[in-house]
A and B are shown apart, each in its own frame.
Chain A
């Protein structure tokens, strides 16, 4: 027997079991008002949080726990534009393959590689200001992508030929911002 550590499968994490828009009772649109989303999350938490079922029979508590988890997971999905877009693609029966799907635009790839290199340099130089500057530039770019995506999603049917490459780009930006944040944490923990 060759028991070993599992590898993440090529198709990434599976889509959530239930549709997050339906779980939260919200219209399936890309441009979701964050305040509405938060309010709905609070309302459903009020109704389903396990603390509301403290004195109830154990299977009822389990049931509430399961539903509260579903609500929190839907909230986490819809709050994140990448995962929100993926949930919409799933609703339209599109694959959300992260790899082997949409080929990245070569000029975008070039840009991404340059920024990564700059981030690596900033990390080595322990230059927090440079890390923040790069994050700011990427966040601006991210906002433009989000606006374009919103437009493409509004069309009926949505323009998937535009959405899918944009989603790929958005993922790049997200990963970059996450890494930049982790580097900020790291530089803060080990001051020069």
Chain B
């Protein structure tokens, strides 16, 4: 008999999480290969459905789906659609069985609030419940979980990304990285197939559509362009079919479309769509007006007719991504399919026509994204350098100009991390303030783009119009998250404003939710801070020791003494229980290694360039030998 032996000193396992509109998946890497974990539902796919029970308590997954028809307003599905979205967003108003709470003020207008009867929740909290469930499954099976990589649609804007990261924090996860879903899928394919070339990833998920063109070369995945529609997915197919089912049921007016009836029609539409993957026609049973059940026949051709306009929207995004990458469809080396909705035969046929080739389907389209996320989490945790992902900004970032136009500061498809500066000036004499409105999107008018932040810089010295200078700097990190700095540089007395765009929940609110979510509130929160500080310290100590083994020669003797003593102080702090003391010692170590870190980066740059130079020389030598050999043969020929 095999005993399950658990090594308490085993390192925590990094996780990859695909937080999907319809299903969510958690995976990890075992012996170099990604494996999807079984969730609380007994399968790798956990329906992204959360039920807030009347008696309190939260149910996630299939059990929540089961309660959706009986108590639709307490059961939230497809919450990913609402991440980082305001109550006024057109998508918020689409066919669904939710009850929204009206926004009381401007801040509340930036975030949707669901009224579940017993509790008012935001999409971030709902997503956090899904993540908590996945975390628990991972803990049950792996005992210790490490950092996580959570995937997001490439087309997610800054607000949607921030909301996702906050959901991770709220679920008690250490979010190492947000990774774009298509890039994750390509990673899963690339590592297994080891092929170089240019690929397109066609990702039709439950609620979002993404297309990404990327080049794979020497272990670097470089995204060339990305595009999509953050409001297009398999759910829309269900909704289109549900709409015709509702008509056949006689539920034609708003009064007859109760949340229960809509929910039943949506469920029937979904099962019909699944059945039509293999069958030419299927039947669903639904209650008709008056109470009797009716059977409705659905043909595959009818579904295909209904989804044609949806596919056309996807097609437009694909053509634009190809134009942005300066490629023709025929020039691609392959097309990867991602997302459950790509199982629909018409979708596959459409992709084949669009890209002039049959798509790759070797890896399960439902699991491929989670696999890629797990591989990335594993590589980040091991500081592996075998693969590097170079992603892009999906949507242009800009500032509103006079007259409501947009001045683009960073165009879409710029490789991230990215940064750019722009200077602005006053338009009126003696203007003493700047109002800055940061937007994201491709439309010409700021009002049509996504509003990310508004802020003002006051106390600008009164000067004639056009004299004052305001410098605005945008920084987008590797997760696609934006930070804006503005400073006024007319008078030498530089004023600086730093802004983090907000989608309706600020850091303080997320922290408050975090405390509320814990049983013992403040006390547990302190415990968690201690655990987090310890984990971070252990990692930094490990990295510093590794650095000392490799690059100690880059430290001056005096610096070495400082570094050693900072290490000792941190070790000392780790024997205690004060998160603040640990953090202080960590910051001190950080400070004394800063200059050294810069030198180590220079060395890394040198060796990256020289490494290439050496291979170039080798290649040249090889070619020279080739010529010599040829000459030798030639000489030999002459002699004979």
Contact = CB atoms under 8 A, between A and B. Distances in A.
Interface of A: 1-11, 13-14, 17, 25, 39-40, 42-52, 54-60, 63-65, 67-70, 72-73, 75-76, 181, 184-185, 188-189
Given A2-B432, A43-B608, A7 B425 contact: yes
Q: Which 5 A-B pairs have the closest CB atoms?
A: A6-B424, A3-B433, A57-B590, A47-B604, A69-B419
B540 A56 contact: yes
Given A69-B475, A75-B415, A184 B407 contact: no
Interface stretch (B44-52, B354-362, B594-602): B594-602
16 contacts: A2-B430, A8-B401, A8-B423, A43-B611, A43-B612, A47-B608, A48-B604, A48-B605, A54-B176, A58-B590, A60-B594, A63-B601, A67-B601, A69-B418, A72-B416, A188-B316
Interface in B575-601: 586, 589-591, 593-594, 597-598, 601
Given A8-B401, A14-B423, A56-B597, A49 B390 contact: yes
B494 interface: no
A63 B597 CA distance: 8
Contacts, number: 189
Given A6-B470, A17-B421, 15 more contacts: A1-B432, A5-B437, A6-B426, A7-B425, A11-B423, A25-B609, A42-B217, A52-B388, A55-B539, A57-B597, A63-B597, A69-B418, A70-B419, A73-B418, A76-B415
A188 B318 CA distance: 11
B422 interface: yes
A54 B426 contact: no
Given A47-B605, A69-B475, A6 B466 contact: no
B435 A4 contact: yes
Contact of B417 (A42, A69, A189): A69
Contact of A4 (B389, B427, B586): B427
Contacts of A49: 388, 390, 417, 478
A57 B543 CA distance: 8
Interface of B: 176-177, 217-218, 220, 222, 316, 319-320, 323, 379-381, 383, 385, 388-390, 399-403, 407, 414-428, 430-437, 456, 458, 466, 469-471, 475, 477-478, 539-540, 542-544, 586, 589-591, 593-594, 597-598, 601, 604-605, 607-609, 611-612
Which residue among A4, A14, A25 has the maximum number of chain B CB atoms within 10 Å of its CB? A4
Contacts of B425: 6-10
A55 B477 contact: no
B435 A50 contact: no
Contact of A51 (B323, B389, B399): B389
A185 B420 CA distance: 25
Nearest to B418: A72
A63 B596 CA distance: 11
Given A3-B456, A3-B458, A181-B323, A50 B417 contact: yes
**Prevailing SS type, chain B contact patch:** mixed
Which residue among B417, B431, B540 has the maximum number of chain A CB atoms within 10 Å of its CB? B417
B540 to A, nearest CB: 5
A15 B191 CA distance: 40
A43 B543 contact: no
A6 B421 contact: no
A72 B414 CA distance: 8
Nearest to A49: B388
A107 B67 CA distance: 73
A55 B544 CA distance: 10
B581 to A, nearest CB: 17
Contacts of A45: 220, 388, 390
Contacts of A65: 417, 475, 477-478
B608 to A, nearest CB: 4
Contacts of A59: 590-591, 594, 597
B601 A48 contact: yes
A51 B597 contact: no
Nearest to B547: A56
A49 B611 CA distance: 17
A6 B438 CA distance: 12
A155 to B, nearest CB: 29
B319 A188 contact: yes
Contacts of A67: 601
Contact of B401 (A6, A50, A189): A6
Nearest to A67: B601
A75 B414 CA distance: 10
A45 to B, nearest CB: 6
Nearest to A54: B380
B593 A60 contact: yes
A80 B559 CA distance: 43
Contacts of A5: 400-403, 427, 435, 437
Contacts of B471: 14
A118 B471 CA distance: 38
Contacts of B220: 42, 45-46
B456 to A, nearest CB: 6
B543 A46 contact: no
Contacts of A2: 428, 430-433
A42 B431 contact: no
Contacts of B418: 69, 72-73, 76
Contacts of A7: 401-402, 424-427, 466
A4 B609 contact: no
A42 B222 contact: yes
A13 B456 CA distance: 21
A91 B564 CA distance: 43
A163 to B, nearest CB: 24
Given A55-B539, A72-B417, A188-B320, A47 B607 contact: yes
Contacts of B437: 5
Contacts of B612: 39, 43
Nearest to B217: A42
Nearest to A10: B466
A98 to B, nearest CB: 13
A9 B407 CA distance: 11
Given A43-B609, A60-B593, A63-B597, A51 B401 contact: no
A42 B196 CA distance: 15
A58 B418 CA distance: 18
A9 B424 contact: yes
Contacts of A51: 177, 379-380, 388-389, 478
A123 B551 CA distance: 60
Contact of A189 (B316, B428, B434, B544): B316
A65 B589 CA distance: 19
A117 B320 CA distance: 24
Which residue among B176, B540, B605 has the maximum number of chain A CB atoms within 10 Å of its CB? B605
Nearest to A52: B385
Contacts of A63: 594, 597-598, 601
